[in-house]
Chain A
């Protein structure tokens, strides 16, 4: 057996072992299957929403109907047509009365789930310095609802609002009303319209003027119930001169069916504000035959509204059967900065079509794109990116680097960059490479004592270093491990 063959097989074997594939046995309250105005009203009523939000949802639903059969087809991903009437659009762990007021009211079964996932929900443990629990505030979203948000009080002292978006609708309606849909409008695209109609929960963050958020904010998404989609909506607003770092993580049980995850994330950075948004996505990828797995169709966009603002996306995408995702930045404010750092792995039969859009509108705006795509097994990986410089964006600069790494000879890596420059003074640079893990590299590592898994892991981590360095410290190690798990099983 050649070392490469062996590596490929190791990769296949290891990736069959999805660690987060367990199911939590918990009573669930569900909406009837299918999607119509009644369902939209049902969801809105469940969440006791004000009239304006119900109207907002219904408008989105009608837009979605207008977009019917208008799913994006340009992506390099292939899957059977989804019957949107077969899914369930709301599932929640059953509980008495309102949402939990404190962790003591959270179903112990749920707490155990998050313990298994390694998510610190118990603030006291974090405060007591329990190993593994970092200084991170967590909002945990289980299927359609948020089950617990930690450190709310401590953050509130500084004026930072961090809560489930349904709670923000109730307690801070003026903020939600002002910014919801202001970056990703309801009719933006097929999946965004669907999300706007049926979104159930997600996180809301508001950082007031001049405040540096004192800790990492994090949302943990978990799909549990069968036959449900997850449609969370996240809205982050960084007011003038503020700064916040936010991280989301995702897992789902191992199931033979495909489950839909269609999220919308909107970021707004006002003058001098900075938002750093990191994602570690590890939804169930399906099995080696391509059975099961999450369809991850997500619209993420940030607006650098004010001058000298900055939005930075970092993503580590290892899971999902299909990923369709382009975290983007609208560079509206003069001298604003957009960044996109991405590591995406397609193994087994995973398909990923991911990248970014950097839209330069203001003067002297800058953007950086670093994308590392890794394909193994029968995975297909496409980087798709747009850099647009509008006529008024004098002095705009962009640097793009897209690197693809192939493991084995049954996978594919593709790069589709679009560059659209409408100002003569713009500077746009694009670099791209495609490489393979060579037998020579593998043998060199093995001769020094690394087994094939450790060797691949080391080479892949080296390949991704520029991106992993962008992650908050607490998560960088986690992400490295995840790359190891996704590709070989263990990191040396």
Chain B
């Protein structure tokens, strides 16, 4: 019963035949917010992409259990339907497709995969409006093309909006704080905190400590050279802020 929602064991993965993840071990329980911190090139983005199932990342060893299932055996859209969400570091633009259509189509595709009935346009709009208000986003946003012509901050808020609408069980936030000014950071953090609940796990991947001032993590893990070098609580993040990653850099 007490099996963690996500369990990663000895995960090794390569990109272009170069090993980037060199044996990751990590567990995240439902209700937990886990921060993964690390210097550039330590494998943070590779880890999130492997978990989401992106092509071009070859898993060479290890396993990932999610909610009792073999996550690595699933297609990306199957992972999404079982509740795995990734907030992208660089969200892509889809010209000609409006946000409302995109998000509702995604939501209904996931619901269909779970044998749930589709959400109609009216119910969707109600929920979307409430979510937008919480994220201090204009309603006009629903009628704009997906990420097209968005500022960096708007793109990140769009990721949080989609996360709120899709209600995942495991959300992976890949450097969601990068490129945000302090106001946008606060809004994004509010959106993330609103997602915290005992059923949901959040994995917050970040280079800096500052997001963690707003989204207080239950655990902090330092990723260095493809391995979890150290784990601790919030204090570890503060220590990194003071001392930097020098201690974890390869000699």
Binding site for B on A (CB under 8 A): 2-3, 438-441, 443-451, 454, 458-459, 461-466, 492
Contacts and interface: CB of A to CB of B under 8 A. Distances in A.
19 contacts: A439-B55, A444-B92, A445-B94, A446-B75, A447-B52, A447-B77, A447-B79, A448-B102, A448-B106, A449-B80, A449-B107, A450-B109, A451-B77, A454-B105, A454-B109, A458-B102, A463-B96, A465-B96, A492-B108
B105 A3 contact: no
Nearest to B108: A492
Interface in B110-146: 110, 113, 145
A463 B81 CA distance: 26
A224 B95 CA distance: 40
Contact of A449 (B56, B88, B109): B109
A441 B92 contact: yes
Interface in B68-114: 75-77, 79-81, 85-86, 88, 90-92, 94-97, 101-103, 105-110, 113
B64 to A, nearest CB: 16
A444 B88 contact: yes
A462 B113 contact: no
The 8 closest A-B pairs by CB, nearest first: A462-B96, A462-B97, A448-B106, A449-B110, A449-B80, A465-B96, A446-B76, A449-B109
Contacts of B86: 447
Most chain B CB inside 10 Å of its own CB: which residue of A441, A443, A451: A443
B80 A448 contact: yes
B80 A461 contact: no
Contact of A466 (B94, B96, B103): B96
A446 B52 CA distance: 10
Contacts of B97: 458-459, 461-462, 465
Given A449-B106, A450-B106, A463-B96, 17 more contacts: A2-B55, A439-B55, A444-B88, A444-B91, A444-B94, A446-B53, A446-B75, A446-B80, A447-B80, A447-B86, A449-B80, A449-B113, A458-B102, A462-B94, A463-B95, A465-B97, A466-B96
Contact of B105 (A443, A444, A450, A464): A450
B21 interface: no
Nearest to B97: A462
A464 B55 contact: no
Interface string B12-54: 0000000000000000000000000000000000000000111
A444 B95 CA distance: 13
Interface of B: 52-56, 75-77, 79-81, 85-86, 88, 90-92, 94-97, 101-103, 105-110, 113, 145, 162, 166
Contact of A492 (B75, B94, B105, B145): B105
Contacts of A459: 94, 97
A438 B93 CA distance: 10
Contact of B94 (A3, A441, A451, A454): A441
B114 to A, nearest CB: 10
Most chain B CB inside 10 Å of its own CB: which residue of A440, A448, A461: A448
A465 B144 CA distance: 13
A157 B60 CA distance: 76
A441 B92 CA distance: 6
Contacts of A450: 77, 105-106, 109
A393 to B, nearest CB: 33
Most chain A CB inside 10 Å of its own CB: which residue of B52, B53, B105: B105
Contacts of B105: 450, 454, 458, 492
Contacts of B145: 462
Contacts of A3: 55
Contacts of A441: 92, 94
A449 B77 contact: yes
